[in-house]
Amino acid sequence: MAKGILIIVEQRNLEIRKVSLELLSQGRKIADETGEPLVAVIVGNGIEGLAQTVTASGADKVILIEDAKLADYTTGAYTSVLNKLIRKEEPQAVLMGNTAIGKDLAPRLAQRLGVGLASDCTGMETDASSFLVFKRPIYAGKAFEYLTSNVRPILATIRPNTFKVTDPDAARKSEIVKEAADIDAGDLRAILKEVAIAASSRPDLTEANIIVSGGRGMGGPENYVILEALADVVGAAVGASRAAVDSGWKEHKFQVGQTGKTVAPTLYIACGISGAIQHLAGMGSSKFIVAINKDPEANIFNVADYGIVGDLFEVVPVLTEEFKKLVK
């Protein structure tokens, strides 16, 4: 009989990703509501010290799978150890973040387990008949579908920023279990050679609480410095529209929209962005939208909570100074 909710906790350089804390927080709520235990698994090397954080964030049981071969994420090795663990634990549901790792790992794991997968979910509710219902954007957010799984375990990846992190409880206790990492040569057919993390003091677009984004109106790559100055005052990420990316001003990883990233920050500041349907799909579920554009007829004003009709090169520096006064 399937039992429990299993969270695959993601760590990078022995630091737990924020999305994993979000899942532990929400998992705890579901565990309390349904009477199911909340189990967390951490895979890596030298990860023992993370068990305390995971416990304080809500886990009833923490499983550690440690091996030098698991220090870095590789599809084969991680799929192998997690497949074995899930078959042993038989949870009702397995949840992980829709991160680069989650996107790569979850489909492989789902297929090895012979189950479905609700990917990139932005909502999750308990349900009497199917245990969990997942809400996920389709057509980059132009519509939503609600998915349930007909088989167990239920597998889902959840988009970062979907759930809030609750305050950790240092007094919580959990059962801590070590599982052997049983990895064979067949699991290591793709070898990680090099990792290059771009040095950036700014948050990732998909995790950012505030995004300052620039489009065609930026006029050139050199002008993004004024958006970066605004972003850095409030700890925001910097994004771009497809027009700006296709002009070669920003790399694709900064693109917001249907063929880029779908984001839902608390505040999205669109500068010199006209508001094409593909762009609106990617940022339309932001809580507040600010538009700064010269063209009073620009479509972006139809979705913006606050708009300033004006030259962004004049408005943004003044706004930066205003933000500085507020966050001082």
Partner 1 sequence: MNIIVYIKQTFDTEAKIVLDGSGKIDANGVNLIINPYDEFAVEEGIKLKEKLGGEVTVVSIGGAKAQEAIRTALAMGADKGVLISDPALENADEWANAEVLAKAIAKMPCDIVIAGRIAIDDGASQIGVRLAEILNVPSISSILKLDVTGTHVTATREIDGGTETIEAELPLVLTAQKGLNEPRYPSVAGIMKAKKKPIQTLTLADLGLSAGDLAPKMSVQKYTLPDARKAGQKIPGDVATAAHELARLLREEAKIL
User: Which stretch in 55-63, 162-170, 218-226, 312-320 sits in contact with partner 1 by CB under 8 A?
Assistant: 312-320
- Could you tell me how many residues of this chain bind partner 1 (CB under 8 A)? 94
Q: Do 101 and 62 touch, CB atoms closer than 8 A?
A: no
Q: Say if residue 210 carries a ligand binding annotation.
A: no
Of 4 and 260, the one with the shorter C-beta distance to partner 1 is 260
119 is known to lie in a ligand binding site: no
Strand 38-44 to 154-158 pairing: unpaired
CA-to-CA distance for 50 and 66, rounded, in angstroms? 12
Residue that is written with structure tokens 């057919």 in the block: 189
CB 30, CB 4: distance < 8 Å: no
Of the listed pieces 32-40, 63-71, 73-81, 169-177, which binds partner 1 according to CB under 8 A? 73-81
- Contacts of residue 277, defined as CB under 8 A and 6 or more positions apart, other chains included, come to 142
Cβ(278)–Cβ(254) below 8 Å: no
In the bound complex, what is the minimum distance in angstroms from residue 1's beta carbon to partner 1?
19
Please check if 101 is assigned to a binding site: no
CB within 8 Å of 195: residues ≥ 6 apart? 72
Task: For the segment 270-299, give every residue that binds partner 1 (CB under 8 A).
Answer: 277-278, 284-285, 287-290, 296
* Binding piece for partner 1, criterion CB under 8 A, among 48-56, 71-79, 162-170, 221-229: 71-79
Q: Shortest approach of partner 1 to residue 97 CB, angstroms?
A: 10
* Minimum CB distance to partner 1 smaller for 173 or for 200: 200
> What values do phi and psi take at 106, rounded to 5?
-60, -45
272 is in an annotated binding site: yes
In terms of CB distance, is 48 or 104 closer to partner 1?
104
Q: Does 319 bind partner 1 (CB under 8 A)?
A: yes
The residue from 90, 111, 175, 180 that contacts partner 1 (CB under 8 A) is 111
Among 15, 175, 192, 220, the residue binding partner 1 under the rule CB under 8 A is: 192
Q: Is 259 annotated as a binding residue?
A: yes
Residue 177 or 313 with smaller CB distance to partner 1: 313
Q: Is 100 an interacting residue with respect to partner 1 (CB under 8 A)?
A: yes
213 lies in the site for partner 1, by CB under 8 A: no
Please state the φ and ψ torsions of residue 203, each to the nearest 5 degrees.
-70, 160
Instruction: Judge whether 274 is annotated as a binding position.
Output: yes
Q: Which of residues 124-183 bind partner 1 (CB under 8 A)?
A: 133, 136-151
* Residue (of 237, 251, 242) closest to 275 by Cα position: 242
Q: Is 150 helix (H, G, I), strand (E, B) or coil?
A: coil
- DSSP element (H, E) containing 327: helix 312-327
Phi then psi for residue 281, to 5 deg, are -60, -35
Distance in Å, CB of 326 to partner 1, minimum: 5
Can you list the positions of beta strands (E) in 198-246? Answer: 210-214, 237-240
Annotated binding site for FAD: 216, 241-242, 255-259, 272-279, 293
